[in-house]
Amino acid sequence: MVEAEDLQSLKTIALFGGCRGPIWLSSQSLGNALEISPQTASRRLIALERQQFVIRSMKPDGQYVAVTREGELALRREYADYVRIFNPEQKQYTLTGVVISGLGEGRYYMSIPHYKEQFGSCLGFEPFPGTLNIRLDAASIQVRKHLDHAGWTEIPGFTADDRTFGGAQVIPCRIRGYRCAIVEPSRTHYPEDIIEVIAGCELRNVLNLNDNDTIEVEITHD
Amino acid sequence: MVEAEDLQSLKTIALFGGCRGPIWLSSQSLGNALEISPQTASRRLIALERQQFVIRSMKPDGQYVAVTREGELALRREYADYVRIFNPEQKQYTLTGVVISGLGEGRYYMSIPHYKEQFGSCLGFEPFPGTLNIRLDAASIQVRKHLDHAGWTEIPGFTADDRTFGGAQVIPCRIRGYRCAIVEPSRTHYPEDIIEVIAGCELRNVLNLNDNDTIEVEITHD
DNA sequence: ATTACTAAAAGACGAGTAA
DNA sequence: TTTACTCGTCTTTTAGTAA
């Protein structure tokens, strides 16, 4: 849980454009925006940096501050809450893209028993050992951002055989009526135009899909 | 400015459904959700009530809490901030509705010099003394809620001739390319399916509009 | 102008308690 | 069980200061 004050500060930095790149921000300017003293603003910035929500580069005449990926995630979680408050309507998002070949990574991960169990228990089907990779079109990349992290289930990482396996997040979806789910690693950066879909069967076979076929992925968000 | 903790508490209550009606909420349950002690949760609730963000009715076995209009506005302001962060104004909203006859109130207000000046200075055109009233269709009522209060400009109220004139808020828009603006009173409750549009000319004449004509209002949010 | 420390003042926290 | 008070403790704030 992120502290309320930290979130407030982070949001203000984001409003100043901190998500798009480093911005000049003095303790005083932040203090003015938040109606707090520059001393407190300074401390808030230090706290945010300690939690890795922002990175700072100090200059003699001030500092440049940028919101990190971590910080943006925290803000998106908050945003998702507000979306849930004000848009209780079952919004159905549709992502469109073309089937592409993956690097076989998905197959590897889905063959690990621990992941298989975890995904199975939270999705209600035993995942086929392999993923369908889809390259989203430009509009769908935007839509996907709106998915935020509402409805995503977190699968924690684990250690086995002297190797650490990172966490992942998953959200249920449907392709041509088939129940499946979008999976992505939690921590590492992932290209925003690619999604990986798992299902209880081999979608390529069942739906007769080939590379470059256009398909729609429906997220009912329920 | 709403305190960060108060906003956090208010948001949690809203997530529990507090915007849709009174919900049962003990200090303990709120405390659990916020990871604070029941004592502090109790104090938070008292603070929210004092600021009129919630109303409470005490029962022997707990209390029923509902978010007030005031509280919902505070949350919508916050929501609007997040929208601004993550949807950098590419979004163009379109409201659809039919032209209706107003009660002549708009004409009255737009004839008052003070309003005329205020609107003129923040919109960039001298408003024609009269408003075009539009009844929104069901979908547009929802879209309109999404406008929240981002991009609205506040026109403060004033007193003249022993009469107080309330504040208003205004957001620029376009109808068939013509620059205009949606106006509504700030404080008083206003029907959610009606909007009043002002422009630099008489839209009814210029666009040859009659009652029950369907028109589109575009908000570019810029 | 900055940042960020120290130290005193202010305020928030939660245990205990009464109703 | 509740709510909400008091009270001791601890945290946070801001003024003052140094760099």
At B149-166, the pLDDT tens digits run 667 888 888 888 888 888
Residue of B nearest to A5 (CA): B4
Partners of A5 on chain B (C-beta within 8 Å) are: 4-5
Check B79 against A82: CB less than 8 A apart.
Answer: yes
Do A191 and A102 fall into the same domain? yes
- B201 versus A89: the higher-pLDDT residue is B201
Query: Hey, is the C-beta of B154 within 8 angstroms of any chain A C-beta?
Result: no
Do B94 and B186 fall into the same domain? yes
> Smallest Cβ distance to B82: which of A5, A35, A79?
A79
Are B107 and B176 spatial neighbours (Cβ–Cβ below 8 Å)? no
- Residue A67: band (very low, low, confident or very high) from pLDDT cuts 50, 70, 90: very high
CATH number at residue B117: 2.40.30.30
- List the 13-42 stretch of B: residues with Cβ below 8 A of A: 14-15, 19, 35
Do A27 and A97 fall into the same domain? no
Check A15 against B145: CB less than 8 A apart.
Answer: no
pLDDT reported for residue B222: 56
CATH number at residue A11: 1.10.10.10
At B71-126, the pLDDT tens digits run 998 998 899 899 889 876 665 678 888 999 987 777 888 888 888 888 888 888 88
B54 domain-assigned: yes
A85 domain-assigned: no
Q: What is the 3-state secondary structure (H, E, C) of chain A?
A: CCCHHHHHHHHHHHHHHHCCCCEECCHHHHHHHHCCCHHHHHHHHHHHHHCCCEEEEEECCEEEEEECHHHHHHHHHHHHHHHHHHCCCCCCEEEEEEEECCCCHHHHHHCCHHHHHHHHHHHCCCCCCCCEEEEECHHHHHHHHHHCCCCCEEECCEEECCEEECCEEEEEEEECCEEEEEEEECCCCCCCCEEEEEECCCHHHHCCCCCCCEEEEEECCC
Do A33 and A116 fall into the same domain? no
Do B64 and B98 fall into the same domain? no
B81 domain-assigned: no
User: B75 CA, D5 C1': separation in Å?
Assistant: 30
CA–CA separation, B203 and B182 (whole Å) = 13
Answer for A39: CB within 7 Å of strand C: yes
Q: Which nucleotide is nearest to B65 (CA to C1')?
A: D3
At A88-139, the pLDDT tens digits run 666 678 888 999 998 777 788 888 888 888 888 888 888 988 899 999 987 7
Q: Which nucleotides of D are covered by protein (CB under 7 A)?
A: 1-6, 12-16
Interface residue of B35, B53, B85 to substitute, partner A, most A CBs within 10 Å = B85
Domain containing A151: what range?
A: 90-220
Partners of B19 on chain A (C-beta within 8 Å) are: 85
B151 domain-assigned: yes
> Smallest Cβ distance to B4: which of A1, A4, A89?
A4
- B148 versus A50: the higher-pLDDT residue is A50
Number of domains forming the structure of chain A: 2
Do A26 and A104 fall into the same domain? no
B123 closest CA partner among B174, B193, B54, B185: B174
Do A52 and A108 fall into the same domain? no
At A162-194, the pLDDT tens digits run 888 888 888 999 998 888 999 988 877 788 889
A105 domain-assigned: yes
Mean pLDDT value across chain A? 86
- A32 versus B92: the higher-pLDDT residue is A32
**What's the pTM value of the predicted model, to 2 decimals?**
0.66
A79 domain-assigned: no
Do A216 and A155 fall into the same domain? yes
Partners of A82 on chain B (C-beta within 8 Å) are: 11, 75, 78-79, 82
A82 domain-assigned: no
Check B142 against A85: CB less than 8 A apart.
Answer: no
Mean pLDDT value across chain B? 86
